[in-house]
């Protein structure tokens, strides 16, 4: 049996590949959204959003559809939702929002295809979680193609520098994401 630590190490060391934009990503999001809505308790799921690079038309990305799923209560989700998705083969992690141990924690799932490749990351959070800022980041990239191009160049460069170190890759792009998210918040306040 695989230990929790071994499972985390395996996930962190999986290859990072940035590929050209695929217009099917929005369709894959919609299909997975329908699937989740059909199998998860309706009294717990509030909304499901597509975010991350695969949600930005024309932007190269890791070919993994990122999804934010708002649930009413994460404790209830752990009890009722986790067993449903684990039974369907999703990898499940109770992970910190920031760094290695910083709360708040949330439910994170990886869906894989028949060959074991990641197809979806499902971030299950409550309404007040900061991960919702990912929608501001997404929308800013959509509205600012020059910034999206800069982000794409950064991701390609970092994927070459850290081809099998997901933690280092994510940390290295963190400052860019923070800066753009702050710009998106400022722009939103000025409306």
The rounded distance, in Å, linking the Cα atoms of 166 and 149 is 21
pLDDT digits (tens, 9 = 90+) for 10-31: 766 678 999 999 999 999 999 9
Cis preceding-peptide flag for 104 (omega within 30 of 0): yes
Nearest one of 103, 123, 119 to 111, comparing CA atoms:
119
**pTM passes above 0.85:** yes
Q: For residue 12, what pLDDT is reported?
A: 66
Q: How many domains does the chain have?
A: 1
Tell me the residue range of the domain where 18 lies: 4-189
Q: For the domain that residue 55 is a member of, what is the CATH number?
A: 3.30.460.10
| Helix extents (H) in 44-144 | 74-80, 82-87, 133-143
């Amino acid at each position: 049996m695989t230990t929790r630590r071994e499972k985390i190490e395996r996930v962190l060391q999986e290859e990072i590949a940035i590929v050209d934009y695929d217009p099917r990503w929005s369709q894959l999001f919609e299909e997975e959204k329908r699937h989740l809505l059909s199998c998860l308790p309706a009294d717990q799921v509030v909304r499901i959003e597509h975010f991350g690079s695969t949600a930005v038309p024309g932007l190269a990305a890791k070919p993994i559809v990122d999804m934010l799923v708002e649930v009413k209560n994460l404790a209830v989700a752990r009890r009722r939702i986790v067993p449903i998705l684990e039974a369907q083969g999703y990898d499940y992690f109770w992970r910190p929002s920031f760094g290695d141990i910083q709360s708040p924690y949330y439910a994170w799932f990886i869906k894989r295809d028949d060959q074991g490749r990641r197809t979806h990351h499902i971030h299950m959070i409550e309404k007040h979680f900061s991960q919702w800022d990912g929608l501001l980041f997404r929308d800013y990239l959509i509205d600012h193609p020059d910034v999206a191009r800069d982000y794409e160049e950064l991701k390609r460069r970092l994927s070459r520098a850290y081809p099998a170190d997901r933690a280092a890759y994510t940390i290295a792009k963190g400052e860019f994401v923070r800066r753009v998210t702050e710009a998106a918040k400022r722009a939103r306040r000025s409306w």
